[in-house]
């Protein structure tokens, strides 16, 4: 098959030119394939593409994967005076694109690139105050510019106008179940959305996608206004290197940390190659020893990574305190003593790395003071939410927040732990936010105990529900809004300002100010902090290596579970990685019959969003739906239990 530079390959090269060489090769690990699929599934990207076709009814779909057949079909259809084509194919030299939607009227062509990204017509737009493209929009605008270039070169006699079609955040769905009008189907490795029978332009209600003319910006891109290299030269360089299968390196940068071609030890043991390693071997002369040395890529919140990498400073032991920006210490809050500043914490990580000190740091006096100000019983809550491009419900906007689940643990003054409550919505098409809030209110209004969250997410969701309630006709909206005001802080810049008397306490803020464990490798995610505190606290190791959870400690989803298990080297397994997968207990034959993935599991928030999305807009058996629900409940319960264990671990370390 010819090695054409496609629009997806072009976008990949814009991220990093070396990725052109590694992509599509089975011998290299590629984590982005699954990540992008999961994101599209969770956010409804497949449905957006299908809805766009509904807006341009009567089109011809070219679904053949063979380039030659697709090109021939496109050429034949373009001979018609007026025609709409989905997935039209265009070739110029070594450049090949499939356009989402092409509308031809005489010699006029509308080239429409459909994206699930949201756009606010009253917002900031694509350009900043300096008339430069905002970084968030660069991939999308360069993508459509690339397609425009190929189409106009392949068919110079047409007058082409490029457009982006995006989710319109100012528009409301005027029908119930818009999202559910498009069901996902998987055929082999391909997933696509299929419009349910009877779905037409008139049946889907008000448009929730907006078509934006980007002709002027595309012309500016082609005239080299928005790139350091001439656009045409850029394309030709990418195409030549891809065609000849040659590695095109570019300087190392902070982007390398998230490289999808970065293999871990498990990948390497399977015989997969690491594009990340090969780049660093070429550009920095790295050896195996270097890959095992603490890298500046892992320094928490370090904003000079690109600058230092350009100066060949790759390792944490090359840094000194003078390399970090000085910043003032955080102001003292009502419940949180001063603690570490950002610079203090960064250099703490460096000092421990240099000395090989694997012990944790805990500001005992500060955390004891913070704990002393808390009121028992303590409440630990966690939400699972989603925000999809196409609304599930009438009157909702694209990417409006939807809260579908919470978990709630309590800890009493005598150290009694209880999984006190949980709630989940599994009803297809139901807007869950108000019932979610009513149940949460019942859980938390029984006493005046302190409420803990991890990060700002729960506050963000509750203030979003507050705004939804203000516009609603719910009979109890006043009492629900009053409850929200008691446990949250209002958004910056909102017309109504408040800080509740029981404003939730952010445990992440405590982690940043009071606690650092080298085993987190600079991460503050609860997924990394939990295994760290389990390693650091003797009490936790002794307590949770026994199967007491769900027996001595009340649980709603576990029975006699040990949170601590060990790998073959005697190291503590991450509890999130030991959660049962959705389909545990099925044999392979049953999995095949049910069309289930034997490795499916819910181990992070992204997987939870995806699981909920599948429950909303895919055909599921009752068995699969029940197992997905149970997996979501177990995952969310661990999130709040992790916060309890963090509290217990800190108290233990303070002794």
Per-residue pLDDT tens over the stretch 444-501:
999 999 999 999 999 999 999 999 999 999 999 999 999 999 999 999 888 899 999 9
What pLDDT, on a 0 to 100 scale, did the predictor assign at position 545? Answer: 96
pLDDT of residue 598: 35
Reported as a pLDDT band with limits 50, 70 and 90, residue 182 is confident
Q: What's the CA gap between 424 and 634, in Å, rounded?
A: 11
Regarding predicted confidence, which is higher, 48 or 192?
48
Are the C-beta atoms of 636 and 405 separated by less than 8 Å?
yes
Dist CA 418 CA 641 (whole Å): 9
614-632 pLDDT, tens per residue?
787 667 788 888 888 999 9
- Give strand pairing partners of 506: 453
How many CA atoms are closer than 13 Å to the CA of 535, on its beta-carbon side? Answer: 21
pLDDT tens profile 339-355:
899 999 999 999 999 99
Contacts for 592 with CB less than 8 Å, ≥ 6 apart: none
Integer CA distances (angstroms), 414 to 335, 371, 441, 453, in order: 22, 14, 24, 21
Name every residue whose Cβ is closer than 8 Å to that of residue 504 and which is 6 or more positions away in sequence: 381, 451, 452, 453, 458, 459, 487, 488
Q: Full-prediction pTM beyond 0.85?
A: yes
Q: Positive or negative CA dihedral for 634, 635, 637, 642?
A: positive
pLDDT digit string, tens, across residues 207-230: 999 999 999 999 999 999 988 889
Q: Is 423 in a helix, a strand, or coil? A: strand
Average pLDDT value for residue range 589-601: 36
Is residue 532 within a helix (H) or strand (E), and if so which, with residue range?
helix 526-536
Average pLDDT, the chain: 90
Round to whole Å and give the CA distance between 239 and 389. 33
What's the confidence (pLDDT) of residue 582? 65
Residue 592's pLDDT is 35
pLDDT exceeds cutoff 70 at 34: no
Percent of the chain residues past pLDDT 90, beyond the cut = 77
Rounded to whole angstroms, the Cα distance separating 126 from 133 reads: 6
As a whole number of angstroms, the distance between CA 97 and CA 567 comes to 47
Q: Which residues contact 75 (CB under 8 A, 6 or more apart)?
A: none
Reported as a pLDDT band with limits 50, 70 and 90, residue 591 is: very low
Q: Give per-residue pLDDT as tens, 498-516.
A: 999 999 999 999 999 999 9
What's 170's DSSP letter?
Answer: T
From the list 375, 424, 374, the residue with the least C-alpha distance to 403 is 424
């Amino acid at each position: 098959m010819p090695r054409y530079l496609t629009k997806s390959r072009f976008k990949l090269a814009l991220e990093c030119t070396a990725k052109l060489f590694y992509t599509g090769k089975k011998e290299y690990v590629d984590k982005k394939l699954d990540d992008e699929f999961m994101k599209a599934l969770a956010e409804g990207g497949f449905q957006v593409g299908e809805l766009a076709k509904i807006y341009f009814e009567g089109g011809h779909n070219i679904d053949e994967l063979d380039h030659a057949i697709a090109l021939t079909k496109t050429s034949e259809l373009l001979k018609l005076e007026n025609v709409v084509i989905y997935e039209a194919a265009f070739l110029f030299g070594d450049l090949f694109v499939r356009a989402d939607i092409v509308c031809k009227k005489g010699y006029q062509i509308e080239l429409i690139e459909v994206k699930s990204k949201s756009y606010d017509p009253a917002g900031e737009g694509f350009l900043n105050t300096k008339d430069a493209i905002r970084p968030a929009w660069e991939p999308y605008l360069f993508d459509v510019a690339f397609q425009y270039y190929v189409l106009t070169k392949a068919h110079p006699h047409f007058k082409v106008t490029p457009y982006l079609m995006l989710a319109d955040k100012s528009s409301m769905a005027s029908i119930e179940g818009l999202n559910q009008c498009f069901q996902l189907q998987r055929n082999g490795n391909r997933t696509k959305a299929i419009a349910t029978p009877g779905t037409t332009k008139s049946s889907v209600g008000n448009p929730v996608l907006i078509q934006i003319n980007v002709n002027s910006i595309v012309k500016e891109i082609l005239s080299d206004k928005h790139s350091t290299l001439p656009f045409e030269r850029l394309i030709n360089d990418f195409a030549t290197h891809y065609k000849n299968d040659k590695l095109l390196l570019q300087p190392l940068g902070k982007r390398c940390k998230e490289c999808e071609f970065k293999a871990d030890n498990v990948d390497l043991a399977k015989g997969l190659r690491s594009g990340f390693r090969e780049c660093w071997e070429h550009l920095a002369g790295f050896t195996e020893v270097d890959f095992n040395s603490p890298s500046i890529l892992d320094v928490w919140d370090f904003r000079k990574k690109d600058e230092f990498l350009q100066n060949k400073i790759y390792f944490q032991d090359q840094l000194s305190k003078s390399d970090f920006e000085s910043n003032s210490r955080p102001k003292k809050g009502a419940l949180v003593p001063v603690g570490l500043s950002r610079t203090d914490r960064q250099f703490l990580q460096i000092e421990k790395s240099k000395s090989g000190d694997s012990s944790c740091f805990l500001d005992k006096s500060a955390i004891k003071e913070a704990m002393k100000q808390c009121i028992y019983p303590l409440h630990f809550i966690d939400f699972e939410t989603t925000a999809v491009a196409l609304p599930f419900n009438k009157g909702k906007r694209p990417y409006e927040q939807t809260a579908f689940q919470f978990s709630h643990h309590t800890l009493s003054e005598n150290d009694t732990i209880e999984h006190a409550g949980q709630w989940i919505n599994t009803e297809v098409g139901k807007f869950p936010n108000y019932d979610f809030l009513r149940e949460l209110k019942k859980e938390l209004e029984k006493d005046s105990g302190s409420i803990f969250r991890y990060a700002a997410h729960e506050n963000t969701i509750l203030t979003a529900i507050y705004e939804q309630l203000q516009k609603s006709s719910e009979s109890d909206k006043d009492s629900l809004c009053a409850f929200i005001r008691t446990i949250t802080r209002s958004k910056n810049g909102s017309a109504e300002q408040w800080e509740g008397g029981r404003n939730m306490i952010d445990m992440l803020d405590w982690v940043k100010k009071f606690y650092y464990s080298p085993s987190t490798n600079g991460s503050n995610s609860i997924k990394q902090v939990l295994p760290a505190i389990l390693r650091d606290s003797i009490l936790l190791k002794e307590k949770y290596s026994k199967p007491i959870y769900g027996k001595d400690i009340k649980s709603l989803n576990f029975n006699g579970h040990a949170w601590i298990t060990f790998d073959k080297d005697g190291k503590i397994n991450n509890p999130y990685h030991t959660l049962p997968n959705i389909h545990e207990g099925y044999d392979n034959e049953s999995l095949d019959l049910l069309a289930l993935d034997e490795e499916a599991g819910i181990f992070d928030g992204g997987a939870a969003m995806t699981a909920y999305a599948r429950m909303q807009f895919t055909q599921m058996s009752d068995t699969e739906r029940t197992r997905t629900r149970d997996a979501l409940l177990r995952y969310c319960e661990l999130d709040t239990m992790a916060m309890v264990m963090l509290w217990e671990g800190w108290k233990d370390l303070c002794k």
